[in-house]
A and B are shown apart, each in its own frame.
Chain A
Amino acid sequence: MRYALQRIGQLLVVFVVVTFAVLVAMRLGAGGHRELARRMLGGNVTDQQVDEAVRRYHLDSNYLVQYLYWLKGFVTFDLGYSSANSMSVAKLLAPRFWTTALLGIYAIAVGLLLAVPAAVIQAHRRDSWIDRLGNVASFIGFGVPAIVLGIFLQLAFSLHWHLFPAIGDSIYPWQQFGAHVRNFLLPTLTLAIPQAAIYTRLLRADMVATLQRDFVVLASAKGMPTRRILWRHALRNSLLSIVTSVGTSLGGLLGGAVVVETLFDLDGIGSQMVISVLSRDLFTVQACVAFVVFIVVVVNLVVDLSYSLIDPRVRMARALA
């Protein structure tokens, strides 16, 4: 429990420091607070509107005060006003959130689906041709830039085989399931392949070490079938490294989401962020970045806390601490 609180504290510090830095970066450089308000509202605005914005977002105070009001807004989903879309940022981002969240979840799921069997087989048949093939594949998957991978997938699956649309549409599963799958498949693959490569590398290394441990040899000596030894005994003990790799590679995943959403024309947080950056929509950019950092922080916390679910010893040690 103490450990959990400590970890939450650390991550909270990171979140606050980062979002504060983003706020300052966003608002830095404007001549005065009225000028700033004008820029944040964008377009032609009346003096009255400017006054109201200054009052509402406390733009005439120092950055710290502005930040505290921003933070208050963030927790109450009052994320400001999107100048480019003339609507509230919360309203703009809400549907886009689902696109990005679904993409992320699919990518992690598909990545694991590819990586876990690959890593287990590679570790089991270490140095065989299949292991080498796996190593080469994950080396390429790790290095290939998302744009390149996405373009190649479009080339193969949409233009050559006409299987999936290259230009997607953010259709949600609760709207039209078939169309959803067709639209999300290539983006998901583009995100999942590099993830799978990272997971495979880490899990394979961990499994190779686990397979040499005494208790795995004992499981053989008990006459357990190979499948059971690999999946029940060894994999379970390597779960930590999977969870860790999902956590540490999340930043890359979210960065990839920016590219993939743009490349496949999906309306997500990532593509919206790029559009807002280009149209100088300050509120929206700030909200997008804060949101992404929030996800990173939360997932890292979940990863950390899940260690104790996986390993009873950690559970015990923390109960005692």
Chain B
Amino acid sequence: MTRPRPLQTAGRPAEGPLIELTDVRTHFATERGLVRAVDGVTLTIQRGRAVGLVGESGSGKTVLSRSIMGLLPRRGVVRSGSIRFEGTELIDAPRSTLRSLWGREMAMVFQDPMTSLNPLMRVGEQIAEPLRIHLGQSRAEARDTTIRLLTEVRIPSPAERLRQYPYELSGGMRQRVMIAIALACGPTALLADEPTTALDVTVQAQILALLSEERRERNMTLVLVTHDLGVVARHTDEVAVMYGGKVVERAPTAALFRRTRMPYTEALMRSIPTVDDPPHTRLAAIPGRPPDLVEPPPGCRFAARCAYARERCHAEEPSLVASSDDPDHHYACWYPVGTVEPVALRPADPAAVG
């Protein structure tokens, strides 16, 4: 099958930083107190790269990616720091600025394709909507573009799909539609929040391959949120590992896998399923539970669950620093992997183990 030429990729600078995060904090006011879901993230995302955002459930990946988009609830959210997109400050930008970026400059693919499409709107219209509004296409043009997009995301017989409703499509098809929507106006950056967790294993691989391919062809920046380091290894150039609302290790993908520094990352790696595992094996979860985000522990947030933790780890918080031998490799750890021997874990919470 010959693939139609991607839309709108010309005329963009190919290099340089696209998204610059400085000390980004997103806290939620709740009855229990302030939930520090994202608590001081500094990160630069280069143009045209694929960046993985990994971490356990609850580590703040979704909140961080939604903070970048500016798609947070209006009420009960406290934000600070700086988020620059192509040099524009977004953190205190009016909603109109954000809206002019959404769809055109940055787009998002959500986790659950079952709930993310409007159940009462035909698929074709949901894709055509941004084309008509952002690009001012006529009805006929939008229809043609929609068909091209559906072909591009490999949906068979696209012309017929236009008239269908989401409930008539399978999960994988819906996620393809989501991707088509996100790609419609040729965004500079695509944020995909666990785009495959809700899908079957075989479909997962197809969707990820599709995303990677689109990124390369369009020279698009991709932020891929996942808790699966295996996915990261195959589909990203760089990785940021999140824990308890912070980035705890950041490196080019190859370097991260070659030389893991952060014990948390190492523990995550142990939970990657291998091909030999029978399907649907439960992953070896990291013992213990994620830190309380209302009153985080004083030292390293991972210390309570860390096999290498020493006194210092419980008392003093390590900051994200560049490795001495690789300036691109950053980690926040007093005793990186390989520098000390593991010790027996304190029997903190046996119930949470296993």
Contact = CB atoms under 8 A, between A and B. Distances in A.
Nearest to A310: B120
A219 B107 CA distance: 11
B150 interface: no
Contacts of A236: 118, 120-121
A222 interface: yes
Interface stretch (B49-57, B98-106, B325-333): B98-106
A243 to B, nearest CB: 13
Contacts, number: 78
Interface residues of A, number: 24
A219 B69 contact: no
A316 B167 contact: yes
A27 interface: no
A220 interface: yes
Contacts of B69: 221
A220 B102 CA distance: 7
A221 B68 CA distance: 11
Interface in B69-120: 69, 71, 75, 99-104, 107-108, 110, 112, 115-120
Interface residues of B, number: 30
A311 B116 contact: no
A223 B165 contact: no
A127 interface: yes
A223 B115 CA distance: 18
B116 A224 contact: no
A312 B120 contact: yes
Contacts of A215: 115-119
Interface string A87-131: 000000000000000000000000000000000000000110000
Interface string A223-250: 1110010001100110000000000000
Contact of B130 (A126, A222, A232, A312): A222
Contacts of A214: 110, 112, 115-116
A17 interface: no
Interface in A191-229: 213-215, 217-225, 228
B71 A223 contact: no
B99 to A, nearest CB: 5
Given A224-B129, A225-B133, A316-B167, A219 B101 contact: no
A318 interface: no
Contact of A312 (B99, B112, B134, B167): B167
Nearest to B165: A312
Given A218-B110, A313-B167, A223 B133 contact: yes
Interface of A: 126-127, 213-215, 217-225, 228, 232-233, 236-237, 310-313, 316
Nearest 5 A/B pairs, CB to CB: A223-B103, A223-B102, A214-B115, A214-B116, A215-B118
24 contacts: A126-B75, A214-B110, A215-B116, A215-B118, A218-B108, A220-B71, A221-B69, A221-B103, A221-B107, A222-B181, A223-B102, A223-B103, A223-B130, A223-B133, A223-B134, A223-B185, A224-B129, A224-B130, A225-B133, A232-B121, A233-B118, A237-B119, A310-B120, A313-B167
